Every structure is written in structure tokens, then in C-alpha cells.
Structure 1
Amino acid sequence: MKVLNIGSCNIDYIYDVDHMVRPGETQTVHNLEIVSGGKGLNQSIALAKAGVEVYHAGLIGKDGMILRQALEIHGAKTDYLYEVEGPSGHAIIQIDAHGENCILVYPGANHQFNEARIDEILSHFESGDLLLLQNEVNEMPLIVKKAHERGLQIAINPAPFNEQIKDIPLHLVDYLILNEIEGQDLTKETNDFKVLEALKVNYPNTHILLTRGSKGVLYTYQEVMIEQPAYKVEAVDTTAAGDTFIGYFISGLVRGLDMEETLKLASRASSITVTRKGSSSSIPTIEEVAK
């Protein structure tokens, strides 16, 4: 099984603050760090650090060499990472004294996908391979339909959640991985278990994972329900926790682990991530998770 991630690449500007800035407020920050990021890039790096051969397909501007280098340094393949006109995507991230974050994302090059580019990328993959997606690139409905036609397994993290999610044929998705807020937005339910039930009704053939931060993760598929608690740690930065979980979850599927072991692996990895500052730099290696 080959793993393809068609995903975003962003240059992250990370600001340490006392609290999230409020309307009309000017706040002095304690520290600025400029690093590679983006949900797509972070998830590819998590996959690579988990020991998976992952191909990252994405679009960057002339300013994006830092992004290509970050992927390659950690072992992700960049055969389908293309340079286009205009700036790369970037994100402005506030991290408060409790390790919580608030993020603004500018899409930039990430929103320059077209049908010809998608066809070219997918032509290198076949039935049984796995495609990972987030919602930080354009043409998502087209990508899902074409990948399904080729027989690829599809895992999608519908983040950031927006109105465009409703245009994506989620019934074609094999693995739907979302957090509490995204689940509530998608179903209009407020209780986590009711969110799962609503998603099961709408997508009966999809494996559904609901990540809940310090409460752990819920998984359901048909008649199976698993509740995996979070590992207790002192969080300093939650920026890449979800991306780490997803990367390690996919790695468990690739390795053929059963679902309980896969969820434990992904939860251990994400618990390490939140104890470190940074985005892709905070993601642990498989050796660290094994310890």
C-alpha cells in the first residue's frame, strides 16, 4: 500500500502570548518562531516519522524552499510537490500560557490545484493505495471523486471546517477523522456520542474517529465502538497534536495493527507532541513513541 497525502504546506509564524488577543487589543508577544507547517505537511511528517513511506503532493511558492526541505529532512517524498506563482500559504499562530492555540491561515499556493494537476498526481497511484486529505487545499470534491474512481482508500480530516465541507462527497470516504468542534458543526449535535450516532447514520460505510483532546478519542464502525482515553501529560503546545494523531493512526493501518492498538499508538504519539513547543518539530519519531 502506497500512501499519498494531497495537502497544504504553510510557513508558520508562531507567537507566544499571555492570552488570545481580543478585539481592539494590542498585545506584546514574548517570542516569535518561523517554522514549516500546515496540516498537510505536518501529517506527512508524522507519517514519515512513524516509519511510513509517504508521498506529499502540494503546491508552494518561490518562498517555499523551507517547506520542501522540512518534508525531505524527515523522510517524506516530494516527487509531487510543485512550485507555482505567488506566495506559499502561511499561518499566524497564537499560543497562550496554557498551551492552547488560535490560528489564522492564508491559503496562498495551496489553492492553485486544478483538474490537470490532480489527474497527473493520481495517475501514479492505484486501487488499494491510501489517500490522506485535509481541507486546506482547493478542489476537494474533485479530488475525492477522482480518487474513489481509481479505487484508492480515502482518509479525510475536514479541518478547518467551513461551508465547503458540505460539497465534499463524504459518503465516499473510508476514514473520517474530526475533532469535537468539527463533529458538532457537521451534525448540529452537542453530545459527543450523539455526534457519532449522527455520523454513523449519514455515513454507514465509513470508519469514524472523534478526537476529544484531553478526553481521548472515540471510534466507531458499524457495530464496533472503542473509547481510547488520552494519556495524562502536561501540555505546553497543542498545535500539531491532531496532525500527529492522524499520521500515526494511518501508520497503524499501513502496518496492519488492529484498531485498538492503532488508537493506542496514535494517542501515545499525540500525547508526546503536546509536551513540546512547535508544529512539525514537536512530532515524535516511532522510536520515541515505542519507549
Structure 2
Amino acid sequence: MTIYNLGSINIDHFYRVPHLPAPGETLAAESYTVGLGGKGANQSAAAAKAGARVVHIGAVGSDGTWAVDRLAGWGVDTRHIARLDTPSGHAIINVDAGGENAIVLFPGANWALPFSLIDAALAGAGPSDTLLLQNETAHQAEAAALARELGMRVIYSAAPFDIGAVQAVLENVTVLALNAVEADQLAAAMGIGLDLIDVPELLVTRGAEGAEWRSREGDRAVAAPVKVHAVDTTGAGDTFAGYFAAARDAGRPPAAALSLAGAAASLKVTRHGTADAIPTLDEVEAFRA
């Protein structure tokens, strides 16, 4: 059982600010740090820290070697990360005193990777494996179609939300993962209620209000919220997705996967940073205890 993640790799530039900047406002940052991020890298980090075997498929520029090394240090298989002659993706992240964030993203190498890289990475994949996808790389729809031909489970995080990207990939998605805002956007764009979106499994995270899962057959599970003091919500959804994928990959039922993923995301928001701040399975289990 292996999780293959066609995922973005970004260099995150964090600015601690007293409040999120208003239009036209120049604001002095209280601190500045650099870390590894990108929804793909975050999800690979989370799944690997949760104990799964993870193969990351992606691309960086010459400025991203340290990011690849960081993923490898957490046990992620990085053989299918290309080094391209273009800058790595990066994000400008403003985080306010309450832990909320505002992000500007430059896709860089994430949108320049060739499909041949994906084809080669999935050559040995099969029905016992999972493909993770997000809206931050090229070739999502093609990768999902290939994965379904191979019988893989496909978990798709529809973020950053784009209705065209969702529609292109939806027919090959096994688990559609959304946060509450994205769920409302998708329902509005498709003109139907959330329960009428035709996917085998739907996962909706609701931040401090917990999360819910439902199947096409009508089965449902809910993760109760965990009360914590949030200092940085960046990467919480990716932590949830990676832990959920790892738990399902390990054979845990949806309710147990939700509970574990919810605890991991709750612990993550008590820490500053993104991939580096995602907790290990031992830390999550101690937190739950």
C-alpha cells in the first residue's frame, strides 16, 4: 500500500502581522521566517508522519533542493521530483495575531512538470494504492484518469477552488475533499445541494467545528471538534487530508480516519509553520490521550 502524491512544493515566506493588510495598506511585519509548504508537500509530510509509505510526484527549480531534502528526511520517496529550469513555487503568507492567514501563491515549477514524470511514477501502482491530488499542479485530470485505470483510490483536495478544475477531474475522484467555504462554492457553481454531488465519498472539513464524511450509499461519519488555542491555521486542512489518506491506506474505517485526522489538524494549529509544524503520529496519539 502506497500513497502517490501529485503535489505542489512551495517555499513559504511567513510574515507575522498585527492584522491582515487592507487594500492599499502598507504594514510592518513583526517577524519573518521561511519554511517548506505547498498543499502537496504538506500532504506528503502529513501522510509520511502518519506512518504511510509516500511517493511524491512534483517539481522544483534550482532553489528547491533543500525542500526535496526536507521531504526525504520525513521518509517521503522523492525519486519522482523533477529539477526544472524555472523557479520553485512559493507563497507569501501573512499570519495575524489570531492565527488567520492571507496567502499569495506563485506556482512556478509546479505547473511546468511533464506528464511523463507522472506516467513513470505510477507505472508500478495498483488497486491497493492511493493517488492524492490538489489544484496546485499541472496534469491533475490526466493523472486521475490514469489512476482510475489502474484501480487506485483517488483523493482530490479541491483547493485552491476552481470549478473548471473540479469538473475536469470529478468523474475519476474516489474521495472529494473540501473545506466549508469550498463546499459552498462547489454547490453554488453546480447549482445543486452538496448531498447531490455524485462522488463515491465526500469529505468536508469545517475548521473548529470538526469534519464530516459521507458515501454515495448514504453512510455518514462525523469528527467532533477539538478545542485548542490556534496560533496558525496554515496547513491545517492539508494535515487533515494527509492523515485521513494515511489512515484509509492503513485500512482504518472512515470514522476512525476522521478522528485521527481531526486530532492531527487540531494539534497542528497550535504550532507556527506549515510542513515542519505537522505533528508525527506519536505526537498525535499523545495529544489524543
The TM-score, its normalising length taken from structure 2, stands at 0.94
CA contact (8 A) 2:14 2:94 kept: yes
Structure 2 equivalent of residue 78 of structure 1 = 78
Structure 2 equivalent of residue 28 of structure 1 = 28
1:219 corresponds to which of 186, 190, 213: 213
Measured in 2, the distance between the counterparts of 1:263 and 1:182 equals 18
Measured in 2, the distance between the counterparts of 1:232 and 1:281 equals 22
Q: Decide which moves more: 167-176 or 87-96.
A: 167-176
Structure 2 residue 141 is matched with structure 1 residue 146 = no
Q: Decide which moves more: 121-130 or 215-224.
A: 121-130
Q: Decide which moves more: 107-116 or 242-251.
A: 107-116
Structure 2 equivalent of residue 156 of structure 1 = 156
Structure 1 equivalent of residue 202 of structure 2 = 208
Measured in 1, the distance between the counterparts of 2:10 and 2:90 equals 4
Structure 1 equivalent of residue 17 of structure 2 = 17
- Amino acid of the structure 1 residue aligned with 2:218: E
Report the alpha carbon displacement of residue 166 of structure 1 after superposing the two structures with TM.
4.0
Structure 1 equivalent of residue 50 of structure 2 = 50
CA contact (8 A) 1:89 1:110 kept: yes
2:279 corresponds to which of 281, 284, 289: 284
Report the alpha carbon displacement of residue 83 of structure 1 after superposing the two structures with TM.
0.3
Structure 1 equivalent of residue 258 of structure 2 = 263
Once the two structures are superposed, residues 252-279 of structure 1 have per-residue CA deviations (whole angstroms, 9 ceiling, x without a partner) of 1122112211111111111100000000
- Amino acid of the structure 1 residue aligned with 2:238: D
Write the mapping of 1:166-177 to structure 2, written as runs, cut at 5 A.
Answer: 166-177=166-177
Measured in 2, the distance between the counterparts of 1:5 and 1:255 equals 16
Measured in 1, the distance between the counterparts of 2:260 and 2:167 equals 32
Structure 1 equivalent of residue 93 of structure 2 = 93
* Higher RCO (C-alpha 8 Å, min separation 6): 2
CA contact (8 A) 2:82 2:113 kept: no
Structure 2 equivalent of residue 187 of structure 1 = 187
CA contact (8 A) 2:57 2:118 kept: no
Measured in 2, the distance between the counterparts of 1:198 and 1:2 equals 33
The TM-score, its normalising length taken from structure 1, stands at 0.94
Report the alpha carbon displacement of residue 126 of structure 1 after superposing the two structures with TM.
2.1
Report the alpha carbon displacement of residue 164 of structure 1 after superposing the two structures with TM.
3.4
Structure 1 equivalent of residue 234 of structure 2 = 239
Q: Decide which moves more: 263-272 or 221-230.
A: 221-230
Once the two structures are superposed, residues 13-49 of structure 1 have per-residue CA deviations (whole angstroms, 9 ceiling, x without a partner) of 0000011111111000000101111000011010111
CA contact (8 A) 1:249 1:265 kept: yes
CA contact (8 A) 2:158 2:166 kept: no
Report the alpha carbon displacement of residue 165 of structure 1 after superposing the two structures with TM.
1.9
CA contact (8 A) 1:12 1:93 kept: yes
CA contact (8 A) 1:171 1:206 kept: no
Measured in 2, the distance between the counterparts of 1:117 and 1:248 equals 25
Q: Decide which moves more: 86-95 or 214-223.
A: 214-223
Report the alpha carbon displacement of residue 167 of structure 1 after superposing the two structures with TM.
4.1
CA contact (8 A) 1:144 1:168 kept: no
Measured in 1, the distance between the counterparts of 2:246 and 2:180 equals 23
Measured in 2, the distance between the counterparts of 1:83 and 1:198 equals 42
Report the alpha carbon displacement of residue 87 of structure 1 after superposing the two structures with TM.
0.4
Measured in 2, the distance between the counterparts of 1:58 and 1:234 equals 34
**What is the Cα-based RMSD across aligned positions, in Å?**
1.5
SS in 1 for 2:193: helix
Determine what percentage of the aligned residue pairs are the same residue: 39
Measured in 1, the distance between the counterparts of 2:196 and 2:117 equals 34
Report the alpha carbon displacement of residue 65 of structure 1 after superposing the two structures with TM.
1.1
Q: Which runs of 5+ in 2 are unaligned?
A: none
Report the alpha carbon displacement of residue 169 of structure 1 after superposing the two structures with TM.
2.9
CA contact (8 A) 2:98 2:230 kept: yes
Measured in 2, the distance between the counterparts of 1:29 and 1:211 equals 30
CA contact (8 A) 2:57 2:117 kept: no
Report the alpha carbon displacement of residue 219 of structure 1 after superposing the two structures with TM.
1.1
Measured in 2, the distance between the counterparts of 1:26 and 1:124 equals 51
